[in-house]
Structure 1
Amino acid sequence: MPGRGKHRRARMNPITRGVVAAGTGGAALTLPLLGAAHASAAEPQSASAAQVLPQAAQPAKSLTYTVTKGDTLYRIAVKHDVSGGWKQLYKDNRSVVGDDPKLIHPGLKLKVKGAEATAPEKEATRSSAPAEPAAEPAAKPAGGVAQATQASAKTYADNLDGWIREALDIMAQKGIPGTYDGIHRNIMRESSGNPLAINDWDSNAAKGTPSKGLLQVIDPTFAAYHVEGTPFDPYDPVANITAACNYAADRYGSIDNVNGPY
């Protein structure tokens, strides 16, 4: 996103970001207790007397991946369900990748660790806290923006859908307008859903302030419109969305009114 009054069409240099957290625990194995009164096999006792043992965690998958043309750490992490996402993948391979996670070259050998699993189904979430029903939203204020009451512990999928939904909840609390469709439409135009996209060629980049993230925000704009409670990191998807929507609300009334470079 350019600064005020400047327009540009972002050209993305795909880099990486993505993260998928694996669910744990939950499955149990019930073993019968054996009596010693008879030489033959004893009848199992009632369910209330049975011992319940937790299912052991399966070891994480590990493999060596050879980078091919067009790969990013984000795509590799998503494809192989890397525990900890692209950041963990970068951490495990920093000696190979170097200091810039945005630059990986065909032929690099990366150590890839898949997610652990203890149950057949895994749910990707941004929070390890158990999900609880969200509280009813408060009545709309005079400005017409619903103020959502924050759930004590709400989880979001660590993907584009989850990032948008988490951003919308924060925006509702802060009175920042915007809809799912408006945010999604602009994200797909600006970054194709890559949270670490960066424009390294336009006039903003030439000035040392390239557009970054899902909604292509330059650092000065991000700093000016950063939403309290989100990470101060333009590559963080939720922080990027909320800051961009805050800027769009100030300049255009809402991100929903943005239908081109802004």
Structure 2
Amino acid sequence: MGNYRIRSGDTLSSIAQRYNTSVDALMKANTQIKDANVILADDKLNIPGAKDEFVEGGGTPGGLPPPGQQLHTAGPESVEGPAEIGEMPEGQVGDWIRQATEKLKAAGVPVEKMNPQDIAKIIQHESSGNPNAINLWDDNAKRGTPSIGLMQTIQPTFDAYKLPGHDNIRDPVDNIIAAVRYSIDRYGSVSNVPGLQSMNGGGGYVGY
């Protein structure tokens, strides 16, 4: 099984044709893909039966453009010289943050707005790293929308800020993706959430 790095404009159908395989086979070899019509630029794709490692050109042999319609991919047109996301925390939480921020970067989220260390601080204060954490006692819970998951998002917020194919609020990567997008939209960056600003000023953590 070889690997291919998805480029902007690719579809599963075009990649399947390129490697003489099927969309179904690609889906089985890449269980992280939940919707055959949605793939993210710069993700690594396992190619069943292929020996090529990271086809950097993103095209067919001979430099021809890939077959199929160029739809359903996310991310910038060029992935040359990608900006570094930043130093990752260690452990399982760090792995989840790495996966989420890579997805977010591929979707066009500026890396400077999602500091991994600050994401980890929010996770620690909100859920202590437990992806199944749920708040059943605050005002949100009383309204029927309890805060859930690593970064304690309520379902309406999660639904508004999730990425396509990342639909499980209890999935740690999906939860981080939605919470980071919400934080950036509301506060400008993860580092600007009230809890971190309070801590930086010598105060205690407050929810966001």
TM-score by length of 1: 0.41
| TM alignment of 1:176-255, pairs within 5 A | 176=109, 177-230=113-166, 232-255=167-190
The structure that is helix-richer by fraction is: 2
Pick the aligned partner of 2:94 from 147, 150, 161: 161
- Aligned residues with identical type, % of pairs: 43
Distance 1:163 1:201 in 2: 27
SS class of match (1:185): helix
Q: Which has the larger radius of gyration?
A: 1
For this pair of structures, how many residues does the alignment match?
121
Give the drift of 1:229: 3.3
Shift in Å, 1:137: 4.5
Alpha-carbon distance in 2 for matches of 1:138, 1:178: 20
Pairwise CA distance, 1:209: 0.3
> Post-superposition shift, 1:210?
0.1
CA contact (8 A) 1:212 1:235 kept: yes
Q: 1:196 to 1:133 in 2, by over 3 A?
A: farther
Aligned to 2:207: 261
TM-score, length basis structure 2 = 0.51
CA deviations 1:203-243 (Å, max 9, x no partner) are 1101110000000000000011111232x111010110000
Q: 1:240 to 1:134 in 2, by over 3 A?
A: farther
Gaps of 5+ in 1: 1-126, 141-145, 149-156
Over the aligned positions, Cα root-mean-square deviation in angstroms equals 3.2
Q: Look up the match of 2:107.
A: 174
* Whole-Å separation in 2 of the counterparts to 1:224 and 1:168: 18
C-alpha separation in 2, matches of 1:180 and 1:134: 29
Mapping of residues 95-134 of structure 1, within 5 Å: none
Any idea what SS the aligned residue of 2:185 has?
helix
- Number of the residue aligned with 1:138: 80
Post-superposition offset of 1:257: 1.4
Structure number with higher relative contact order (C-alpha < 8 Å, ≥ 6 residues apart): 1
Evaluate the alpha carbon distance shift between residue 147 and residue 226 of structure 1 in structure 2; reply closer, same or farther with a 3 A threshold. farther
